[in-house]
């Protein structure tokens, strides 16, 4: 149980750091379509990493912040 809590905390910490970096990068881009491409690419990379390291029952989010699937 403690290991799961540490894993969840680590995932949250990494996601927060990635979102912070994404926000910083977006602020440097002036064109909305390029911002959207960056956002989509970042979400796809994060989702790919989550699929490899997180159980399938964990909720997944799309680049548009809409739930893709929720097990259970």
Distance separating alpha carbons of residues 31 and 35, to the nearest angstrom: 6
Within a domain: 9: yes
Within a domain: 24: yes
Q: What pTM value is reported for the model?
A: 0.50
Q: Identify the domain containing residue 35 by its residue range.
A: 2-52
Within a domain: 20: yes
The rounded percent of the chain whose pLDDT value lies above 70 is: 65
Q: Total domain count for the chain?
A: 1
Within a domain: 59: no
Q: How many CA atoms lie within 13 A of 31 on its CB side?
A: 4
Within a domain: 48: yes
Average predicted confidence (pLDDT) for the chain: 73
Burial of 13 (0-12, 13-18, 19+ CB in 10 A): exposed
For tokens 């097990």, what's the residue?
71
Within a domain: 65: no
Within a domain: 21: yes
pLDDT at 64 over 60: no
Within a domain: 41: yes
């Amino acid at each position: 149980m403690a290991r799961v809590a540490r894993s969840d905390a680590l995932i949250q910490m990494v996601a927060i750091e990635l979102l912070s970096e994404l926000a910083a990068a977006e602020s440097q881009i002036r064109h909305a379509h390029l911002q959207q491409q960056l956002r989509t690419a970042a979400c796809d990379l994060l989702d790919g990493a989550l699929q490899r390291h997180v159980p399938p029952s964990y909720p997944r989010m799309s680049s548009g912040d809409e739930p893709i699937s929720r097990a259970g």
